Structure 1
Amino acid sequence: MYRPTVAEIDLTAIRDNLRAIRAFTPLKTQVIGVVKGDAYGHGAVRVAAVLEQEQVRLLAVATPDEAVELREGGIMAEILVLGNSPADFVPYAVANNIALTTVNQATTMMYGAAAGSHTVRLHYNVDTGIGRAGVLADDATEEILCSATIPSVNIVGLYSHFACADSDPAFTALQTTRFAAVIREVRAGGLQPAMVHLANSAGLLSSPGVMLDGVRPGILLYGCPPVPAPTCSVRPVLALRTVLEIVKELPAGHGIGYGRTFITERPTRMALIPIGYADGYLRGLSNKAHAIVRGRFAPVVGRVSMDVCALDVTDIPAAVPGDRVTLIGEQDGLSVTAQELAELMGTISYEVLTGISKRVPRVYIDKSP
């Protein structure tokens, strides 16, 4: 690597976070390892390998291509594709222990026809209020029971997804009630799905009574709880680091960056760092964020460019080119979190983490024996 900008991924933190989540969930509840979106920007194959070592039996991805990436990376655990899959992916899924999501009888028929003389394993998505994919809860029982009679399919799971478990307890309770009714009716109709799952990260923290057969911790697994989690202690897995590239003296009244959105009010030591919005350090952080240099916070000044941005190190007189810079993570007793950056931009930590581009190498650290 010729460029010093890297994302450090602490695989020991993944292991510890998984253990904390398991300790928080009932023994009967299986933790589904959510590794969609390249494991929330952490590297799907490496994270999945750790989860597999820790006896996670089911991994969840969003797309068929993500499932293929895991299989080609040597991952052997069962995979569930949460999004839509085309008919021509079904033979691959059947041959490679990949379960697919179905949302209605027509989709189930398409999967069954594509499976031919084999059997495709399906999880049925029930829309209890999020208004995206899934059969509406009021129609679900009839659709699911009819789908179960279609040749070459095996409905092994039922799931739904909370819309606002981090903010609306009443609506979350309503979704839980709707889903429970569907499960009750489906079982009364003779279908006994092996895996019923509902709670995401926010759901398992805010509604621990709905941790059913499985839970799907995504952002929580990566150490960024979407709601306060004093009884489920996790820590961030990713740190984003670079170094000071250039340190330059600028006079008062001098602009920094495109658009001259920052004008120095005093003689200023400007430090250039090799990271920008093409790396996922976004333009919305311009003149808002700060980084850690030599045990001090250095503000980002001027617009974040595609490849570089500037820090004001005037109050860090010892700062010199080559000094380590932390933009997300801990250094010298200080920290910057993905959530803090998200709040500066009016978004969520998920977007900050998944937005770190492929141009930033992932460097893996594993202190586990």
Structure 2
Amino acid sequence: MQKITWIEVDLNAIAHNLKAVKRKVGSETKILAIVKADAYGHGAVKISQTLVDNGVDMLGVAFLAEGIELRKNNINIPILILNPVLSEQIEDVLKYSLGVTVCNLDIAKELSKIAKRYCRNTRIHVEIDTGMGGAGVLPDKVLSFIRELQLIENLEVEGVFTHFNSSEEKDKSFSHEQNKIFKAAVKELKDEKIKIPLIHAANSAAILDLPDSYFNMVRPGLILYGIFPSIYVSKNIDIKPAMSLKTRIINLKRFDSGSTIGYGRTFEILKQTTVAIIPVGYKDGFSRCFSNLGEVLINGKRSSIIGRVCMDRCFIDVSNLPDVEIGSEVVLYGNQNNETISIESAAELIGTIPYEIVCNIGTKVPNRMYK
């Protein structure tokens, strides 16, 4: 069946971006690629396969189910669950050979008990809370916590990590402070002869702006998909956007002056106008905030969204396009001829973050095409 609305994902761009990150951080630094939230809406299985084929060291997911999906699709490299797990999930952690974040000794003991049954060690990472306010262990408790973990059988403390809460902001001072706290905690472990193989802190923004936070592994997410986290990060890396959102015109209609368009009659026609209808709306993750504000690309030219974005349609002023027709391709995000509507510019326009844009459409547009 012909797709009317679809996402295009360029796997060559993903491979290109991974290589760009490797060049940025150096060959000695391992890459833990973040593929949570269905690889930020790009499709976790296909993206993970591409990353594995291009030499990524480890994959990071948010939840157990995401890790299981990858294992069931023959992704066999190390996978780390970044959020804590519940006791009833531990059996599957072992069954699918997943690494897990541990911040609680009771969970660690449950892991040990089931790991014994499987006759193997479980790889664990300990999150250090340097300011995120999340599930991590506080810095002054890290040494004692890891000492306790070392006494528990069948657990291998493979890594420690922290997460920056504002590395994409203009003011990076708190990120520097977090890094300083994390470094001190890591040094304390080293001084006590506690060897931790993997130390990681840098997310996408920190990879771009905080080279002092690389340690021996980094966690790129958004930049792997060719998107910059904010306007305040360095653009000194060659990345290519991987995702486009496209649809087709399903109706054309000419309106005279005085007509109104869409719910709430928020747009009034002031001169004879040709309006195209496209079958995309907020059910597809295309924000209502683009009402009377956003643009799309048709025949390589920008055309304005008029009226409110509806649940399953938008109205486009195509009066400036003499050769438009029903069935013409429309690009909501991406390139067409020499014009581009980037995820970053769209996010800035409506006052949100690029992460929200890609995750919204990625989970709601069922048709995904890879090239």
Q: Which amino acid is 1:364 matched to?
A: Y
TM normalised by structure 2 equals: 0.95
Task: Map Cα deviations across residues 312-367 of structure 1 (whole Å, 9 max, x no partner).
Answer: 111212211111111100002000011111112211000000001343311000xx
TM normalised by structure 1 equals: 0.95
Among 330, 333, 349, the alignment partner of 2:335 is 330
Separation in structure 2 between the aligned mates of residue 303 and residue 37 of structure 1, nearest angstrom: 28
Among 191, 194, 200, the alignment partner of 2:194 is 191
Separation in structure 1 between the aligned mates of residue 192 and residue 78 of structure 2, nearest angstrom: 27
2:90·2:110 contact (CA, 8 Å) conserved in 1? no
SS in 1 for 2:178: helix
Separation in structure 1 between the aligned mates of residue 94 and residue 192 of structure 2, nearest angstrom: 27
Q: Which amino acid is 1:165 matched to?
A: S
Aligned-pair distance for 1:66?
0.3
Among 261, 264, 276, the alignment partner of 1:271 is 276
Task: Map Cα deviations across residues 95-145 of structure 1 (whole Å, 9 max, x no partner).
Answer: 433100011333322322343344221000000111111011122221122
Aligned-pair distance for 1:169?
2.2
1:103·1:125 contact (CA, 8 Å) conserved in 2? yes
Task: Map Cα deviations across residues 284-309 of structure 1 (whole Å, 9 max, x no partner).
Answer: 11111100111211101111111111
Separation in structure 2 between the aligned mates of residue 296 and residue 39 of structure 1, nearest angstrom: 30
Identical aligned residues as a percent: 34
Separation in structure 1 between the aligned mates of residue 365 and residue 73 of structure 2, nearest angstrom: 20
Q: Counterpart in 2 of 1:73?
A: 73
Mapping of residues 209-358 of structure 1, within 5 Å: 209-226=212-229, 227-356=232-361, 357-358=363-364
State the aligned residue count.
Answer: 365
Q: Counterpart in 1 of 2:147?
A: 145
Aligned-pair distance for 1:10?
0.2
Separation in structure 2 between the aligned mates of residue 304 and residue 194 of structure 1, nearest angstrom: 50
Q: Counterpart in 1 of 2:113?
A: 113
Q: Counterpart in 1 of 2:164?
A: 162
Separation in structure 1 between the aligned mates of residue 261 and residue 70 of structure 2, nearest angstrom: 44
Aligned-pair distance for 1:27?
1.8
CA RMSD in angstroms comes to: 1.4
Q: Which moved more, 1:137-146 or 1:39-48?
A: 137-146
Among 122, 125, 136, the alignment partner of 2:124 is 122
Aligned-pair distance for 1:86?
2.1
SS in 2 for 1:50: helix
2:126·2:157 contact (CA, 8 Å) conserved in 1? yes
List gaps (5 residues or longer) in structure 1: none
Q: Counterpart in 1 of 2:369?
A: 363
Call closer, same or farther: CA 1:35–1:72 in 2, change over 3 Å: same
1:145·1:186 contact (CA, 8 Å) conserved in 2? no
Q: Which amino acid is 2:155 matched to?
A: V
Separation in structure 2 between the aligned mates of residue 102 and residue 336 of structure 1, nearest angstrom: 41
1:145·1:189 contact (CA, 8 Å) conserved in 2? no
Q: Does 2:135 correspond to 1:133?
A: yes
Separation in structure 2 between the aligned mates of residue 3 and residue 296 of structure 1, nearest angstrom: 22
1:11·1:364 contact (CA, 8 Å) conserved in 2? yes
2:205·2:233 contact (CA, 8 Å) conserved in 1? no
Separation in structure 1 between the aligned mates of residue 260 and residue 106 of structure 2, nearest angstrom: 60
List gaps (5 residues or longer) in structure 2: none
* Dislocated runs of 4+, deviation >6 Å: none
Separation in structure 1 between the aligned mates of residue 233 and residue 149 of structure 2, nearest angstrom: 40
Separation in structure 2 between the aligned mates of residue 62 and residue 30 of structure 1, nearest angstrom: 19
Q: Does 2:87 correspond to 1:82?
A: no
